[in-house]
Chain A
Amino acid sequence: MRTEAALGTLEAAPAAGCWRSLITQESVSTVVASVVIAAVVLLPLATMVVSSFRVMEGFGFSSHWGLDNYRAMVEDRVIFKAFINTLLISTGSTLLATVFGVSLAWINARTNCPWREKLEPFNLVPFFLSPFVGAIAWHDLASPKIGLLNAWAREFLGVQGAVLNVDNIYGIIWVTGIFFTPLVYLFVVGSLRRMDPSLEDSARTTGAGLLRTTLTVTLPLVLPGILSGAIIVFVSTAGEFGVPFKLGTPYGWETLTTQIFSKAVGDDANYYMGAAMSMTLGVITAFLVWIQQRIIAPRDFTTVTGKGFRPNVVNLGKWKWVALGYNLTFVLLAVVIPLLGLLIVSLHPVWQGHIIPGDITLYNYERVLFWWRPDHIQAATNGIINSVILAFAGATIAMALAIPVSYMIHRTKGYGSRMLDFLCVVPIGFPGIVLAMGVLITYIKTPLYATIWIILLGYITRFFPYGQRNISSIMLAISEELDQSSRMAGASWFTTLKRVTLPLLKPGIFAGWVLLFIIFLRELPMSIILYSTGTETLSVGVYYLSNFENEPLTAALSIAQTVILLVCIVVFRRLAGREALTA
């Protein structure tokens, strides 16, 4: 027998307040977000394309249309050499990073190397630090005249001249290779960990030994991860500015990025030429990223399964100590020795290659950090303050944008969401310096120019996709039915976002924020194009000290930057947990 008394009488029918379905909170927000993102992302790129076809006349007061810029890329000896150098450096670094990255990933994920869990965060540290600082550190360690290691070799080994020389293309390859190793590591270690062990077990049961299984089953399955990592490293090193600028330009080795820089702010400033070079670099990198996204990533079958596995671990026997030694050596070379070297240099008033215990002082730090003292260095203290402000504001704005955009991409259907998805991937394909050229040329006649806002705009344009991807990966894991049941319970689209979706996204939001904070703090290529006196950033401060002051001051600010970044890394790992860094 029915008892309505169990729950009371049913609610009356709602009033006839229906409305057309076209104008909803959802559709309006989607359109607005798409327009904003399209303007921010596409405008600089469009301006750059157009500018590359304008040729400068005389001293730059007029210009005409033409292909001269592109012709110069092949005909001008300096520029052509720079192009070749870029290719050589990218190839070399990619090989180095791949060798290190794959071996470290295998050791960490698949062997019984002792302390491998404790070592993993250290393997990743170079990823968060500034490669520019790394170049400075290695310069202080291994340049022929003032390098600390060379000095020790002369003193204790009686060597004449210099044992090591990083002030050349090999030095650039060495430093970029080490600093981008974590990228390959992350791709490969994720693949190895997520692989179903029964795939290898079944090979073993048919009679295949360890080596054959590894070569015929494990390796092909991990190959997409390796290729993805390699392509991303290639693209990143092609766009790397700081390392070739420190170790290459003063000694005659130019790359496309350093050339773009000189065309933007150097004596032979020619924005149109810079745009053409940026276009060339950008097209190559965008093409490679497109290949990685469309062709390689979808073939990575190890990421498809949802179950958690305990993968097969190889018992290395006595060789496990060799593996440990190898991993420790990497950490020493990538993190410990450079930082120690920098520290030593920063404690001397003048650096000539020897440690002079009597000279040890903290004076450099005072000049670089204490902005209230009369002898502080403006560029350095500006850099700290500006970078912290930019990082804070930039990370917050970028994440605030990323949340609704991610929501629109994954929760709405149709053409608009696919367009948004595409727009969000575009900036990843272009190196920072390329986008910076675009932003510069676009906004040079606006009030934004020469203010801190243009730098903020550049940062957000370039790095917003990283925040968005962090959120997207969580959103994909949240079932759509969690939102739908909130609607059915009576909550509007906005209330659902506030009470159901956002709380579930919280971990991803914080992790993304800290990641962006770190990226903005150490950013160099965009800052160096878009800054002006008063709006220097931390990395620009380091550049300024390196160009116009001396090694110890440069080292002091570098150490300060590194300390801030290391603190952020610890916070990041706390918030994000182990899996958050998977690409």
Chain B
Amino acid sequence: MDQEISAAPFLEVRGLVKRFGNDRAVDDVSFGIRRGGFLTLLGPSGCGKTTTLMCIAGLHHLDAGEIRVGDATYTSFATGEFMPPEKRNIGMVFQSYAIWPHMTVAQNVAYPLEIRKVDRAEIDERVNKVLRLVGLGDMAGKLATQLSGGQQQRAALARAIVFRPRLLLFDEPLSNLDLKLREQMRVELKRIQREVGITSVYVTHDQAEALVMSDEIIVMSKGRIEQRGGPRDIYAQPVNRYVSNFIGVANLLEGHVVRVTSPGRGEFEVNHGNERVHLPCRLGEGVSEGSSAVLSVRPENVQATRDKGGDPCLEGKVLRSIFLGNCVDCRVLWGGFEWKVLAHPRLRLQAGERVYLRLDPEQSLAVQP
């Protein structure tokens, strides 16, 4: 279920293909984003997300497709049009921040305005304003090398927005920061983006980051788009096994849909030793009666108890149980399959114990393999 863009998209990428040698790093990618929106390209290394970003920036040429922003065509392979990166008015924050070491923070941020021949008084005013916005108000005179990682990051952001670009691109900007700082900067970046209102495309491999920051997420794999949607939709309704596994943690059981009971609901058949077990579930996109599918169940949606009770449940043995504070991470062996379960800490499950697992049909989703 991907969202249709309500208004005409501000940034539009159509049929983008980029090859390196014989390898298609980006393979026919199309998407759009509305003005002011925050879109994340999410995927592992090599999935094509950074290459896509570089194509939008104009730092790479295309092998097919088109990139348009507003009413301007930035690149069109078909017509041969190509606008050089310095003419595109796109702000970009790089993974290494790329703060120039031979200039101060203020000089770094002033650079784009100097290129645009803004007069000195206005430059100073705008630089100070944007430095205050990112929280570096008192760092203007410092040399780039005197800043910490987080501060360099903010300076890079300031430099990217000071010239009021039409589009803001982020290339994994938080991956060089330590965990606590990363969590803090996620929220900060999002706040600044909201306040300033610039359309943004953000590239990351960290799915938690994507979930926290985005209006919309595009999950990519091997140069292609797997799924596009809002954070909650992607998390709850992954379209296939890959997305299911990439976002959050999931239990993935191979099997097939044996029948459809009502629109969007059905029964999933999975082999358990010599038996065939039927589990009621919701049906994801592209899954119909008889089709091979994968049952995706999040660990927090698997209930574990010691008593068998009367209703249908799965009997398994606890392999290990790790206390995490607010929950217990359990692995439960059921036939040949190892369930990942997040159990309540008061249960104190021990390795070797027999437990009974219950699934909520509304939280079990059959997705494409």
Give the interface of A toward B (CB within 8 A): 2-4, 6-11, 13-14, 16-21, 24, 479, 481-482, 484-493, 495, 499-500, 503-504
Contact = CB atoms under 8 A, between A and B. Distances in A.
Given A14-B89, A490-B89, A484 B59 contact: yes
Contacts of A4: 196-197
B112 interface: yes
Chain B CB within 10 A, most for which of A3, A479, A482, A504? A482
Interface string B87-130: 11111101110101110000000011001100000000000011
B159 A489 contact: yes
A115 B36 CA distance: 65
B355 interface: no
Given A14-B72, A21-B82, 19 more contacts: A2-B195, A10-B198, A11-B164, A16-B72, A17-B87, A18-B83, A24-B84, A479-B96, A479-B98, A481-B94, A485-B94, A485-B156, A488-B57, A488-B86, A488-B91, A489-B159, A491-B111, A491-B115, A492-B86
B285 interface: no
Contacts of B86: 487-493
Contacts of A6: 133, 195-197
B367 interface: no
Contacts of A499: 111
Nearest to A500: B100
Given A8-B164, A13-B72, A479-B98, A487 B89 contact: no
B146 interface: no
Nearest to A506: B102
Contacts of B360: none
A19 B76 CA distance: 11
Interface of B: 36, 57-59, 61, 69-73, 80-92, 94-96, 98, 100-102, 111-112, 115-116, 129-130, 133, 156, 159-161, 163-166, 169, 194-198
Contacts of B81: 18
Contact of A21 (B61, B73, B95, B159): B61
Contacts of B156: 485
The 6 A-B pairs at the shortest CB distance, nearest first, are namely: A2-B197, A489-B112, A485-B98, A481-B98, A488-B92, A21-B82
- Residue with the greatest number of chain B CB neighbours at <10 A, chosen from A482, A485, A486: A485
Nearest to B75: A18
B92 A485 contact: yes
B35 to A, nearest CB: 9
A504 B84 CA distance: 24
B100 A482 contact: yes
A481 B95 contact: yes
Contacts of A484: 57, 59, 85, 92, 94, 98
Contact of A18 (B82, B98, B111, B165): B82
A487 to B, nearest CB: 4
A491 to B, nearest CB: 5
Contacts of A488: 57, 59, 85-86, 88, 90-92, 160, 169
A373 B87 CA distance: 64
Nearest to A9: B164
Given A21-B61, A486-B111, A504-B101, A13 B71 contact: yes
Given A2-B195, A504-B101, A14 B87 contact: yes
Contacts of A479: 96, 98
A487 B161 CA distance: 14
Given A10-B166, A481-B95, A484-B98, A20 B197 contact: no
A481 B171 CA distance: 11
Contacts of B163: 11, 489-490
A486 B133 CA distance: 22
B175 to A, nearest CB: 13
Contact of A14 (B88, B101, B169, B198): B88
Contacts of B73: 16, 18
Contacts of B83: 14, 17-18
A290 B89 CA distance: 47
B23 to A, nearest CB: 15
Contacts of A485: 92, 94, 98, 156, 159
Given A481-B94, A484-B98, A485-B98, A3 B195 contact: yes
A489 B130 contact: no
Contact of A489 (B36, B84, B111, B133): B111
B100 A13 contact: no
A9 to B, nearest CB: 8
A21 B77 CA distance: 11
A20 B95 CA distance: 30
A353 to B, nearest CB: 58
B115 A489 contact: yes
Given A11-B166, A24-B84, A490 B92 contact: no
B100 to A, nearest CB: 6
Nearest to B91: A488
B117 to A, nearest CB: 10
A24 to B, nearest CB: 7
B80 A20 contact: yes
A11 B89 contact: yes
Contacts of B112: 489-490
Contacts of B58: 487
B234 to A, nearest CB: 24
29 contacts: A2-B36, A2-B196, A3-B196, A7-B161, A7-B196, A8-B164, A9-B164, A10-B164, A11-B164, A14-B87, A21-B61, A479-B96, A481-B94, A481-B96, A482-B100, A485-B98, A487-B59, A487-B85, A488-B92, A489-B115, A490-B86, A490-B112, A490-B115, A491-B111, A492-B84, A492-B86, A493-B86, A500-B100, A503-B102
A8 B169 CA distance: 20
B351 to A, nearest CB: 36
Contacts of B194: 2
A57 B59 CA distance: 61
Nearest to A25: B84
| Residue among B80, B86, B196, B198 having the largest count of chain A Cβ atoms under 10 Å | B86
A24 B81 CA distance: 13
A19 B166 contact: no
A303 to B, nearest CB: 22
A13 B73 CA distance: 10
Contacts of A16: 72-73
Nearest to A496: B86
B98 A3 contact: no
A13 B69 contact: yes
